[in-house]
A and B are shown apart, each in its own frame.
Chain A
Amino acid sequence: MTATTTAGARTGATTTAKGRGGRGRRWHRIVIPLGLAALLLTTTLVTHAVDQPDPDAGFLSPVATGDHGGSRLAAALRERGVTVQRETTTAAALAAVRSAPATLFVPAPALLRRETVRALDRLPARTRLVLVDPARPVLVSAGLPLLPGERRWAAQALGPAAGGLPCQLPELGGVGSAAVGLQRYTAGSYRPEQVQFCFAGALARVSGAVEQVAVGASDPFRNDRIAEWDNLAFATGLLGVTGRVVWLDLAEPEPPPATGTGRPSRTPATEDGPGTGTGDGSGDGTGTGDGRGGPGEPGQPGGPGGGDQSGSGDGDGEAADRDDPPNPLWAAFPPWFWALLAQLALAVLFLALWRARRLGPPAAEPLPVTVRSAETVLGRARLYQRAGAREAAARTLREAALTRLLPRLNLPADAAPDRVAGAVAARTGAEPAATEELLYGGEPETDQDLLELARALDGVTRTVAPPASPDVPLPDRTEGEPR
């Protein structure tokens, strides 16, 4: 006797190979997606950092010739006969603006102090104020009825009439596309009639005695991109309206002035009064309304308006000024409490380390096939039903019934339909015509017809050729037996 089993050795070999490969694949499964995600993140952040200018290093200065400088813009303005007056302090800039109608260009409004920004709406009439990419606190402090909307990762080139509305700034009429679409502005809940949007919201103008313009991107003014699209035309058109540009060139955050802004500074105690409970953005309108007895128009010159608007951003100002003292939460509990918390966290970490080490690997084995042999038949039945194959199903059922009936009736396989129908009708007692229709009829129209046909065929075969025994599903089948 020789009993050879090669299956065992073969299975063993594949198991070891799979084990080695499985460990490698498991490692890959962790590393590849995380690595891809990290690569994507790094690429995005690096590209963004390269694309976005660093506001500190000579950013949009008329004398800086670097990529982020504004020397080409200043030169272009001078070429057009516009006087460019560079001022490095706010006080000087404000004084310069007061002397004659001018455009005050603020490339980095984030560097201004809050009080300075508040003073900007009290500029003399017929002054145009251009703010480059003002953030929400600046908008709020300056009393602009705008809210920052969608922000992109890189500036998008837009036409003046992009977004569906025609641009109402005539000096920009000849401008094609300009790369201003970085930050968009919306009117929020304010009344929109005093605000005009261009470039799909990337440029917002608040009309009034002082014309305030917020531009969503610094790209059209920068040396490196001013030559792209119609950026040059856009920048010179926007700044060159009044014939004189006062260029506020700040190299660093503005130092706290004593009393240079033309407005006496208030004590925090008095400012807290109107600012309490109003929040940062919507509080602006409320504060203005309280001061005037009606819906006020921010941006109008006048002492009371400016004074009342000051209530808006106070919460921010207080929080920003108070980041020196430590979080009061630290002092709320004794030091041992924090040490206890840390030690309990360490204990939990120890527990995790204990649970992380498993007592041996899980045992794997190949599982047997679970497909049932009637699977294909049942699947075909479902396919028949989904396809509505009533004709095929009816034909199969009729053929099967005839195969069972004919031997019982002692008829040949190719007997004529009327003979078969007559013989069957004689046994069942039904009409021969109906029986012939049943056995050789047409295609059933609906599923219900098919069901009735199947039932009738089943009844006929049960009457004429009853199954041998209900207990034994099928008799012993050997060669040559008729079904």
Chain B
Amino acid sequence: MTWRAALLLAAGALTLPAWPSPLAGMLVMTGAVLLLVVLDRALAVPPSALTATRDGDRTVRLGGTATVVLHLGNPSARTLRAQVRDAWVPSAGARPDVPPTRLVRVEPGRSAALPSRLTPTRRGDRPAVALTVRSLGPLGLGFRQRSERPATPPWTLRVLPRFDSRRHLPEKLSRLRVIDGTQVTRGRGQGTEFDTLREYVVGDDVRSIDWRASARRADVLVRTWRPERDRRLVCVLDTGRTSAIRVGDEPRLDTAIDAALLLTALAARAGDRVDLLAADTAVRATVTGTGRPALLPRLVHALAPLQPALVETDFDLIAGELLRRQRQRSLVVLFTALEAGALSAGLLPVLPRLAARHRVLIAATHDPVLTALTTAVPAQPRDAYAAAAGWRALAERDRIRAALARHGVLVVDAPAGRLAPTLADTYLRLKSQAQL
């Protein structure tokens, strides 16, 4: 029954003084209202007869708004008057155009479109949870409602990472072009890979004159060099427990995904082949970069549903996967946390095997709070203790960094917002120095 039944009963109560026998009047009125409710409920459209389908956006970038439309069909012979609640998970940020308090009317044989606007607050797959239809009778006194009648049409909105660091991309690309030699701002291209021979023009470096080729021809030829192309780059994302920790205002994994996307975009433009592996105790996602044009969208889709798992990462598994997949020497960029416990127990034992085949780079973020603790002038005894704890954490990180450096591993350790550009700079430096 609805509030109308209660209101009807309350209004009827006011007529009681006029009844010859008030007690009998009360019983008669209550019985009448109950009878009306039962009758009204029987006249309501049964929810199990309804049909529900969805269409609309499948993906949205984090921060954007998607629209998913629910089509509620009424195949019965009666007009449907219903309250409809289309529930999504809270982080999907769903705002239905027709709120559940408003009545939806669907004529017999027709269907109604009920759009929902979704502004997700977190990356990942955001599913629709439950569709509830409360079918009211013609008087609005009684209703029918059963869970999963009609069944909730499944729909999952994939929220893609925001890729905030793409604002750094033009600058990094221009630096790449300088290194590549296609854009002469600082000089000609540098590199170690032989490109072509061309005639000497005034201003060329005399050290790059190829005397042997000049001897064969009647002209002075210079060798041109370019950075190596078709190098291999593997991004490895650690989705274990250390990636769940919040650095700044997002999980460490999101920072890593952002940096990985920038690095991939840059490396794909530089002509390198990019693979991706995400793993904790099991492999969560792999992307093998073959078709270059569509690499970035595919990578984004593969990374979007990744969630941190609260388990210790199995670096043995990661090393095995890398050694099995990557036969050629590659640059392995491992996105993890510089945490003594996790790395010394997991990574250090397998690092020699990995470093023997590949060039390993560890990209880690740290909390800017730590830096603030150690650089601020202490004002209270509490600050002095905090500074001591901060310095101790930094010293521990230095120790693990030194241990990693002994294996020839490069470490990029940047505060949360600076990881992506710092990593891109490191990549460009390696590229220009032909250390890939």
Q: Which residues of A pack against B, CB within 8 Å?
A: 1-8, 334-336, 338-340, 342-344, 346-348, 350-351, 353-354, 357, 359-365, 368-378, 380-382, 384-385, 389, 392-394, 396-397, 399-400, 403, 447-448, 450-451, 453-455, 458, 467, 473-474, 476-480, 483
Contact of B413 among A6, A342, A363, A477 (CB under 8 A): A477
CB neighbours of A450 from chain B (8 A): 381, 384-385
CA distance A480 to B409 in the complex (A): 11
In the complex, chain B residues 342-393 whose Cβ is within 8 Å of any chain A Cβ: 366-375, 377-378, 380-393
A372's partner among B1, B245, B390 (CB-CB below 8 A) is B245
Q: Is B315's CB within 8 Å of the partner chain A?
A: no
The listed residue (B29, B147, B301) touching A343 by CB distance below 8 A is: B29
For the complex, what is the distance from the CA of A48 to the CA of B373, rounded to whole Å? 67
| Cβ distance A290 to chain B, nearest Cβ, rounded Å | 51
B398–A483 contact, CB under 8 A? yes
Q: Which A residue's beta carbon lies closest to that of B4?
A: A354
Contacts of B290 in A (CB 8 A): 1
In Å, the complex CA distance between A431 and B336 comes to 46
- Interchain CB contact (< 8 A) of B286 among A3, A342, A351, A377: A3
Given contacts A1-B287, A359-B85, A478-B410, 6 further A-B contacts (CB under 8 A): A8-B305, A336-B17, A340-B17, A343-B13, A373-B337, A403-B395
The answer on a CB contact under 8 Å between A396 and B391 is: yes
B37 to chain A: closest residue by CB: A350
* Cα-based distance from A483 to B402 in the complex (angstroms): 12
B10 touching A344, Cβ below 8 Å: yes
CB <8 Å contact, B283 and A336:
no
Contact residue among B22, B30, B130, B147 (Cβ-Cβ distance under 8 Å from A338): B22
Given A6-B284, A363-B89, are A373 and B10 also a contact pair (CB < 8 Å)? Answer: no
Interface residue? B246 (CB, 8 A): yes
A479 and B2 contacting across the interface, CB-CB below 8 Å:
no
Cα distance A394–B391 in the bound complex, in angstroms: 11
| B306 engages A7 (CB within 8 Å) | yes
CB interface residues, B 6-55, toward A, < 8 Å = 6-7, 9-10, 12-14, 16-17, 19, 22-23, 25-26, 29-30, 33
The interface residues of chain B lying within 8 Å CB-to-CB of A359 are: 83, 85, 100, 132, 134, 145
Q: B410–A357 contact, CB under 8 A?
A: no
A357 to B83 CA separation, bound complex (whole angstroms):
13
Residues in B389-428 with C-beta less than 8 Å from chain A: 389-395, 398, 401, 404-405, 409-415, 422, 425-426
Q: Is the CB of A384 within 8 A of B388?
A: yes
Q: What is the minimal beta-carbon distance from B244 to any residue of chain A, in angstroms?
A: 4
Cβ-defined contact, B414 with A476, below 8 A: yes
Contact B9 A447 (CB under 8 A): no
Q: CA–CA, A83 to B101, complex, Å?
A: 88
CB distance A378 to B389 under 8 Å?
Answer: yes
Residue B63 CB within 8 A of the other chain: no
Count chain B CB atoms within 10 A of each CB in A339, A344, A384 and give the residue with the most: A339
The residue that A451 contacts in the complex, of B372, B384, B414, with Cβ under 8 A, is: B384
Q: List 20 A-B contacts (CB under 8 A).
A: A1-B287, A1-B289, A5-B305, A6-B284, A7-B284, A8-B305, A335-B23, A340-B13, A343-B10, A346-B9, A351-B3, A360-B132, A364-B89, A372-B245, A377-B386, A393-B385, A400-B374, A450-B384, A473-B372, A479-B409
Asked whether, in the complex, the Cβ of B307 is within 8 Å of the Cβ of A7, the reply is: yes
Residue from A8, A336, A403 within 8 A of B19 (CB atoms): A336
Q: How far is the CA of A123 from the CA of B373 in the complex (A)?
A: 93
Nearest CB in chain A to that of B152: its residue:
A360
Bin chain B's interface residue count.
35 or more
A8 to B124, CA, bound (A): 10
Q: Known: A3-B302, A370-B246, A377-B373. Contact between A397 and B6, CB under 8 A?
A: no
| Residues in A whose Cβ lies below 8 Å from that of B310 | 369
Residues of A within 8 A of B291 (CB): 1
Q: How far is the CB of B122 from chain A (nearest CB, A)?
A: 7
Please measure, in the bound complex, the distance between the C-alpha atom of A350 and the C-alpha atom of B36, giving whole angstroms. Answer: 13
- Of the candidates A394, A403, A454, the one whose C-beta lies within 8 Å of that of B383 is A454
Q: Is the Cβ of B30 less than 8 Å from the Cβ of A385?
A: no
A404 smallest CB distance to B (angstroms): 10
The answer, yes or no, to whether B226 is at the interface (CB within 8 Å) is no
CB distance from A460 to the nearest CB of B (A): 12
Residue of B130, B284, B383, B391 near A400 (CB, 8 A) is B391
Given A8-B125, A380-B392, A385-B381, A372 and B13 contact (CB-CB distance below 8 Å): no
> Which A residues lie within 8 Å of B411 (CB)?
477-479
In the complex, which residues of chain B have a beta carbon less than 8 angstroms from the beta carbon of A377?
369-370, 373, 386, 389-390, 393
What 1/0 flags go to B303-318 for Cβ under 8 Å of A?
A: 0011111100000000
10 cross-chain pairs, A with B, having the tightest CB-CB distances, nearest first: A360-B132, A339-B22, A447-B381, A393-B388, A350-B6, A336-B22, A400-B391, A454-B384, A381-B389, A343-B13
B9:A451 contact, CB within 8 angstroms: no
**Closest partner residue, chain A, to B30 (CB atom):** A346
* Cα of A454 to Cα of B310 in the assembled complex, Å: 38
**A480: which B residues are within 8 A, CB to CB?**
405
- Residues of chain A contacted by B81 (CB below 8 angstroms): none
